[in-house]
Amino acid sequence: EMFGQLTSGLESAWTKLKGEEVLTKENIVEPMRDIRRALLEADVSLPVVRRFVQAVSDQAVGTGLIRGVKPDEQLVKIVHDELVKLMGGEVSELVFSKSGPTVILLAGLQGVGKTTVCAKLANYLKKQGKSSMLIAGDVYRPAAIDQLVILGEQVGVPVYTAGTEVKPSDIARQGLEEAKKKKIDVVIMDTAGRLQIDKAMMDELKEVKKVLKPTEVLLVVDAMTGQEAAALVTTFNVEIGITGAILTKLDGDSRGGAALSVKEVSGKPIKLVGRGERMEDLEPFYPDRMAGRILGMGDVLTFVEKAQEVMRQEDAEDLQKKIMSAKFDFNDFLKQTRAVARMGSMTRVIGMIPGMGKVTPAQVREAEKSLKIMEAMIEAMTPEEREKPELLAESPERRKRIAQASGKTEQQVSQLVAQLFQMRVRMKNLMGVMEGGSMPTLSN
Ligand code: GDP
């Protein structure tokens, strides 16, 4: 289980809020301590942890509870959103050159998986219909060149080699020339890795970079090294200027520190992640999916998001006022039924709403079907009729016209009108659902 320890560490934070009614400064102290500990144990750097915990606390006590959402669920959502932000928010796509070949320069310390990444990346681009060529630039280890040739063969891409006697910057120049001749889409240059950062390595990289004018300069870092990976990305960025990082060995028992720290510490995004030794094991880094995986609570997250959406759809208090003053009209009816339909369409989530455990998927489908019928009839009404349901109650002609326009029977229209008046009562039940009542039955 990836980041298993972090996941269970965070879990203890939610557990402490079980049974609470609200989020307060006092009752989040313990959970926040758990979150802090979990992140530190995951090897996230201290300043990052501090900022994170502060941001989460501020939101936890600063925002009201979403109706129908429990404090522990809301905290899960806040932590999720902050984790996404921490990891850079959006996925950071590879950039491709508009003219000539795209050049990707790969750097990294020895053993991080750089050579493997070269071939994985070529394989990944091939699946996107892009041709690529690898350039073997690790002139200090003949074995590294051999390995690249073997991997290149394995994924079916050419590898440019010039032995170990040629300077890396010259190899780069020749390789790029060759790729242009062959009209290759993407050139991927492997460079020498050292056991640790040294000046010779940086100088060589700078020189290669000058020759290649790469579209992307990506530092390959090992997830197992935690916050050290983030520090490396910073150093390489300051020294040679990079565009992002590739995080390898996420499949191992890494603790999460690297994934969570790289962007925040270095300002550079993780663009791709390696999740295994096979050539297929390379994928874009999606901060939201990663956060979801870390929390391991996809269901709760979906539920809170949907609840937020429903509440945005209609300001509940405004609606309640309308119901109380009997001004609830067909416009409100439509808005609300649509919101309910959206809630209802997530059968899996329905069971998680307090008090709605007994609603079966069949009932939900039935409710959705009747909502569709109602929508069609309401859409056939004039604006005036929507605002004044009384007009329809008084006029069989109007009801007949709506029946014809919507393809329903006059009886169905009459039922709908009657239902609106009942709905003024029913809406009170709906408000109850959001707070733990039972699902209103909608019939046609
Ligand atoms: P380099 O020295 O940076 O070129 O590293 P290599 O590409 O030779 O990889 C070093 C070792 O790490 C090899 O045994 C790879 O199979 C392994 N490796 C590379 N990427 C991953 C990964 O994402 N997951 C796992 N589990 N192993 C990896």
Cα 193 to ligand 1 centroid, rounded to whole Å: 13
Give the pLDDT score at 64.
75
Residue 69 has pLDDT above 60, yes or no: yes
Q: Which atom of ligand 1 is nearest to the CA of 112?
A: 3
Q: Which two tokens stand for residue 141?
A: 């280890």
Same domain? For 21 and 126 the reply is: no
Report which secondary-structure segment, H or E, holds 154: helix 142-155
Pocket of ligand 1 (CB under 6 A): 108, 110-116, 193, 248-249, 251-252, 274-277, 281
281 three-class SS: coil
Same domain? For 38 and 106 the reply is: no
Residue 270 bridge partners (DSSP): 245
Residue 443 has pLDDT above 60, yes or no: no
Cα 248 to ligand 1 centroid, rounded to whole Å: 8
Q: Is residue 106 part of a domain?
A: yes
- CATH number of the domain residue 24 falls in: 1.20.120.140
Same domain? For 122 and 170 the reply is: yes
Candidate of 145, 277, 280, 283 to mutate for ligand 1, largest count of ligand atoms within 8 Å of Cβ: 277
Environment class of 398 (CB within 10 Å of its CB; exposed 0-12, middle 13-18, buried 19+) = middle
- Assess contact for 273 and 280: CB atoms under 8 A: no
Cα 282 to ligand 1 centroid, rounded to whole Å: 12
Same domain? For 162 and 262 the reply is: yes
Same domain? For 109 and 201 the reply is: yes
Q: Which atom of ligand 1 is nearest to the CA of 275?
A: 23
Same domain? For 176 and 272 the reply is: yes
Q: Looking at the 3D structure of the chain, how many domains does it have?
A: 3
Same domain? For 66 and 108 the reply is: no
Same domain? For 120 and 268 the reply is: yes
Q: Which atom of ligand 1 is nearest to the CA of 108?
A: 3
- CATH number of the domain residue 267 falls in: 3.40.50.300
Q: How far is CA 6 from the centre of its chain?
A: 18
pTM: 0.72
Q: Is residue 95 part of a domain?
A: no
Same domain? For 112 and 68 the reply is: no
Give the pLDDT score at 244.
98
Domain limits for position 152: 102-285
Residue 283 bridge partners (DSSP): 273
Environment class of 270 (CB within 10 Å of its CB; exposed 0-12, middle 13-18, buried 19+) = buried
Q: Which atom of ligand 1 is nearest to the CA of 114?
A: 3
Residue linked to tokens 């060759």: 178
Is the ipTM higher than 0.85? The answer is yes
pLDDT band at residue 342 under the 50/70/90 scheme: low
Query: CA-based angle 190:195:196, to the nearest 5?
Result: 100
Cα 114 to ligand 1 centroid, rounded to whole Å: 7
| Distance separating alpha carbons of residues 370 and 412, to the nearest angstrom | 11
Cα 116 to ligand 1 centroid, rounded to whole Å: 6
According to DSSP, residue 223 is labeled G
Residue 314 has pLDDT above 90, yes or no: no
Residue 375 bridge partners (DSSP): none
Q: Is residue 321 part of a domain?
A: yes
Query: Which residue among 90, 125, 148 closes a domain?
Result: 90
Q: Is residue 290 part of a domain?
A: no
Summarised one tens digit per residue, pLDDT across range 100-153 is 899 999 999 999 999 999 999 999 999 999 999 999 999 988 899 999 999 999
Residue 435 has pLDDT above 60, yes or no: no
| Distance separating alpha carbons of residues 348 and 303, to the nearest angstrom | 9
| Distance separating alpha carbons of residues 159 and 146, to the nearest angstrom | 10
Summarised one tens digit per residue, pLDDT across range 408-432 is 999 999 988 887 877 666 555 555 5
Q: Which atom of ligand 1 is nearest to the CA of 282?
A: 23
Cα 249 to ligand 1 centroid, rounded to whole Å: 7
According to DSSP, residue 224 is labeled G
Summarised one tens digit per residue, pLDDT across range 223-278 is 999 999 999 999 999 999 999 999 999 987 788 999 999 999 999 999 999 999 99
Same domain? For 345 and 203 the reply is: no
Q: Is residue 305 part of a domain?
A: no
Same domain? For 346 and 208 the reply is: no
Q: Is residue 303 part of a domain?
A: no
- Assess contact for 442 and 371: CB atoms under 8 A: yes
Same domain? For 184 and 262 the reply is: yes
Q: Is residue 251 part of a domain?
A: yes
Q: Is residue 322 part of a domain?
A: yes
